[in-house]
């Protein structure tokens, strides 16, 4: 096992900067997810760590050893590709043994380690099958076994679950996580699937345009995003534009088109300009019925915090759409002309399209991020 350190990593393809002065520390035994949309630089970063791409500048260290210019075969890595890259003419056992044979291990050592590794990934009894005779999940585990059998210093996974169906992908998330914890190998996991990253990773590095916008534990990424791009990409988010006009009990007081609202404060080191976005997750908003007002549209009453509890943001609105999703109902609630909030709640709630409702949310369940800038990825 080995920690991974990237310092000033930069990779260009012509005029395109795929990875831009990237700095990252992955702790020994940690599972780090690189999360972001297509084209953000996460796979290029992984390929540079593996040695398949030579960076234009910067350094890559595994523990105390600099590997920046070493070829892949001298880095002692295990790699699982999106398409698994299993040799179709080889059996499961032969695929798993391949790396050990290239390292000139003895026949006895190869048999022993292949058997042990296949047992670890629950493929015992399938040694003689060819990849075409395996299910998607079995192929994925065979690829993991081939990567693990050489006892690598680091394990690199590039979208390893992307080719699986939704249900199997969900099951394999937990399998990969438990296996990594069992073997304890320092792991970098590339994905564009936010739920996958949340389940699997100790920490998540959210990337856009070749740079890391935020590096933190999954809970912090979700509840305390540093930028609007992180808040928008990870989970579902409502954004309310406004300007900070004061502070109150560790909350920001924000003047918005919906009235004066209160929200969570600034993340350390983020932009402190008064123009802000209040980020509100759909599940943080509670709907309640109100009498009168009809369905003539939101904004009949003066919007903004109201009611007996001044610590709760409360907006008057009208349900404009409703979708039953089984475990919850997904609403679109218009709280002002052209301003629609997404709300997710109790599947047994009685609200129908056209119903007047109050949409309330606790200030501490929201967060403030800098106002939108031009999208860079």
What was the pLDDT predicted at 350? 84
Chosen CATH of 237-370 out of 2.40.50.100, 3.40.50.970, 1.20.1640.10, 3.50.50.60: 2.40.50.100
CB 118 within 8 A of CB 145: yes
Average pLDDT over residues 177-191: 93
Average pLDDT over residues 2-28: 96
What was the pLDDT predicted at 298? 44
Residues of the chain with CATH 3.40.50.300: 4-223
**Topology classification of domain 4-223:** Rossmann fold (3.40.50)
What was the pLDDT predicted at 199? 93
**pTM of this prediction?**
0.87
In this model, does residue 145 exceed pLDDT 60? yes
| Average pLDDT value for the chain | 89
What was the pLDDT predicted at 371? 87
Q: Identify the band that residue 191 occupies on the pLDDT scale cut at 50, 70 and 90.
A: very high
What was the pLDDT predicted at 349? 84
Phi, psi of 327 (to 5 degrees): -85, -5
Could you report the per-residue pLDDT of 339-367, keeping only the tens digit for each? 999 999 988 888 999 999 999 999 999 99
What was the pLDDT predicted at 267? 65
Q: Identify the band that residue 169 occupies on the pLDDT scale cut at 50, 70 and 90.
A: confident
* Cα separation, 134 vs 125, whole angstroms: 12
What was the pLDDT predicted at 271? 65
Average pLDDT over residues 38-65: 96
The position carrying tokens 């890595």 is: 77
What was the pLDDT predicted at 164? 84
- DSSP code of residue 365: G
Average pLDDT over residues 33-56: 96
Q: What is the dihedral of CA 262, 336, 231, 246, to 10 degrees?
A: -20
- Give the percent of the chain with pLDDT over 90: 75
Q: Identify the band that residue 296 occupies on the pLDDT scale cut at 50, 70 and 90.
A: very low
Residues of the chain with CATH 2.40.50.100: 237-370
Q: Identify the band that residue 307 occupies on the pLDDT scale cut at 50, 70 and 90.
A: very low
Among candidate residues 304, 302, 317, 301, the one with its CA nearest the CA of residue 253: 304
What was the pLDDT predicted at 109? 94
Average pLDDT over residues 28-43: 96
Q: Return the beta strands (E) in 159-298 as ranges.
A: 186-191, 203-208, 211-216, 238-248, 251-256, 259-263, 275-280, 286-289
What was the pLDDT predicted at 311? 67
Could you report the per-residue pLDDT of 236-271, keeping only the tens digit for each? 999 999 999 998 888 999 999 999 999 987 766 666
């Amino acid at each position: 096992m080995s920690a991974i350190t990237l310092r000033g990593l930069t990779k260009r393809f012509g005029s395109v900067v795929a990875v831009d002065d990237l700095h990252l520390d992955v702790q020994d035994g940690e599972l780090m997810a690189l999360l972001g949309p297509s084209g953000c630089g996460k796979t290029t970063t992984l390929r540079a760590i593996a040695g398949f791409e030579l960076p234009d500048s910067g350094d890559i260290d595994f523990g105390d050893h600099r590997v920046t210019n070493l070829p892949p075969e001298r880095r002692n890595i295990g790699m699982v590709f999106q398409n698994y890259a299993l040799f179709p003419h080889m059996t499961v056992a032969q695929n798993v043994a391949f790396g050990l044979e290239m390292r000139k291990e003895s026949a006895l050592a190869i048999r022993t380690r292949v058997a042990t590794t296949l047992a670890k990934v629950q493929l015992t009894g399938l040694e003689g099958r060819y990849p075409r005779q395996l299910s998607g999940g079995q192929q994925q585990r065979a690829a993991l076994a081939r990567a693990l059998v050489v006892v690598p210093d680091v394990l690199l996974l590039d979208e390893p679950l992307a080719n699986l169906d939704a249900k199997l992908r969900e099951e394999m998330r937990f399998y990969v996580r438990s296996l990594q914890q069992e073997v304890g190998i320092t792991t970098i996991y590339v994905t564009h699937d936010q739920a996958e990253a949340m389940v699997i990773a100790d920490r998540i590095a959210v990337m856009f345009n070749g740079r890391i916008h935020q590096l933190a534990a999954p809970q912090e990424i979700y509840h305390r995003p540093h930028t609007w791009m992180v808040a928008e990409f990870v989970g579902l988010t409502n954004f309310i534009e406004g300007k900070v006009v004061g502070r109150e009990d560790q909350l920001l007081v924000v003047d918005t088109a919906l009235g004066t609202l209160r929200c969570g404060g600034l993340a350390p080191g983020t932009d402190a300009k008064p123009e802000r976005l209040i980020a509100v997750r759909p599940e943080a908003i509670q709907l309640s019925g109100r009498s009168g007002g009809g369905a003539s549209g939101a904004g009949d009453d003066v919007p903004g915090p109201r009611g007996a509890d001044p610590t709760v943001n409360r907006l008057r609105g009208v349900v404009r759409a409703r979708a039953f999703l089984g475990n919850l109902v997904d609403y679109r609630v218009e709280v002002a002309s052209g301003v629609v909030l997404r709300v997710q709640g109790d599947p047994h709630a009685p609200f129908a399209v056209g119903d007047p409702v109050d949409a309330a949310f606790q200030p501490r369940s929201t967060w403030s991020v800098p106002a939108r800038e031009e999208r860079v990825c």
